Structure 1
């Protein structure tokens, strides 16, 4: 059974009127290679009317954003020509690659009607060989994401990428990144085998659990040692977990604002390219 190195509490980091807790990076943990960043927005209830999400047009290069919509919606647009509105239970997987500009805002309906909102955004690194690939975007509604149910219905795994208990995820990423959301009712248990060399990403979104014998609760990121391959979860209340694993890239990480590359020179090149318009021109 893997041992836990440390638990990290997400820090309060509101953005305008959006309730936000940043789980990665914090003062106690910089990254969990290749997982770079996690913002937990909400839960909160927006009034009618409202301004919605505050993420207007901005650039990215060198990594991927994976967004999990638990409540509310996100309207996506980017300079690659992709547009979508994804609702509760859906996901967005955007590969920034060589660079693009995108916006993540609320739909006109949500801004008009309001309602509950809870969203997770995870940044996943790209290996050096794929930093400059063509951008791509995948937006999936909840019914398009395979699920598997275990422990007499007390555990449901939404397989986003990779293979989970024999169920193949909806997205085939460039690197071997396995991601899922796990919903457990109180008393539900889950046992997984994850090779010791792989980094586990384990963030409790809601509820309380016992993981490999240690208590954890909402808004805590669990960091594991690389000393075992067994993962055992037991829900001590109804709970939701963002769970992933991947083999570490072991490459230099240089991050500055919206760009994640391997060298300072590459960061400077990203800014020059963005200013020169090679990420595309934004049109409303």
Structure 2
């Protein structure tokens, strides 16, 4: 049975007008397999008109990574310089391979900005192997109905494969280093045993409430790392409310990493090229669809 080796509080970060919690990287680790960042926008109620209308000022570039967003409540709109555009609602995910360069923007849907409502979401950054950093950028949304859900043996929990595969249940989103992101939901006073791939780095995050993981109490809003022994982890929900747990990890990419701002490459020279080509306009510009307004 896997054990918790350490656990860590999130660090507050300002993203535009919203404060998020950055769970990864932290003082203990820069990566979990190829996953190098996890940002959490905790559940919050948006008042009508609280969020300003998008004006393109949040648009920003990426290169050398894939971004992966998961919406628990509310929605998220994506637009990018390759013409990629989509809206995902509660339970859906979106993946963007930055590849050799892209500019993208992420916004709350117009109805949520206008009428108010609840939002709760996550974003991961995933390092790409060198060969995939040179590929053209791509975008792919997946609504909740396209993401497989497996019942766990206890009968008290389920696992949704957001990325990767669980016992033959495969997410449609591409992977490069056996990376996985799973959403485990455990019923009140229930428990679950989750099989984890042997030989892969693994961690988890508790966005809403604490739990007992591998016999260790882990508080809410904490990232926890799992050891490499055993093939499964037991998670116990001692609360009267359903418990949400994100489990994620993958195979380390054993290549040099050079990162600065929104770019993750293999050398400083490649980073310099990434910034130069962005300044030269080679990543293109976003043409916003009328329905974004």
Q: Distance in 2 between matches of 1:53 and 1:160?
A: 30
Q: Does 1:262 align with 2:266?
A: yes
2:291 corresponds to: none
| CA 135–147 in structure 1, closer or farther in 2 if over 3 Å, else same | same
Q: Distance in 2 between matches of 1:235 and 1:278?
A: 50
1:174 deviates by 3.2
Q: Structure 2 length as normaliser, TM-score?
A: 0.90
Aligned with residue 177 of structure 1, among 150, 171, 179: 179
1:70 corresponds to: 72
Where do 5+ consecutive residues of structure 1 fail to align?
A: none
Is the CA contact 2:80–2:285 (under 8 Å) kept in the aligned structure 1?
Answer: no
Tell me, what secondary structure is at the counterpart of 1:272? helix
1:2 corresponds to: 2
Aligned with residue 231 of structure 1, among 233, 243, 246: 233
Once the two structures are superposed, what CA deviation does each residue of 1:53-102 show, in whole Å capped at 9, x if it has no partner?
98721100001111011111111001111111111111111111111000
Q: Distance in 2 between matches of 1:170 and 1:234?
A: 29
1:28 deviates by 4.0
Root mean square deviation, CA, Å: 2.0
Moved more, 230-239 or 271-280: 230-239
Is the CA contact 2:2–2:229 (under 8 Å) kept in the aligned structure 1?
Answer: yes
* Aligned length in residues: 284
2:161 corresponds to: 159
Q: Does 1:249 align with 2:253?
A: yes
| CA 52–150 in structure 1, closer or farther in 2 if over 3 Å, else same | farther
Once the two structures are superposed, what CA deviation does each residue of 1:245-276 show, in whole Å capped at 9, x if it has no partner?
31111222221110011111111010011112
Q: Distance in 2 between matches of 1:23 and 1:59?
A: 22
1:16 deviates by 4.5
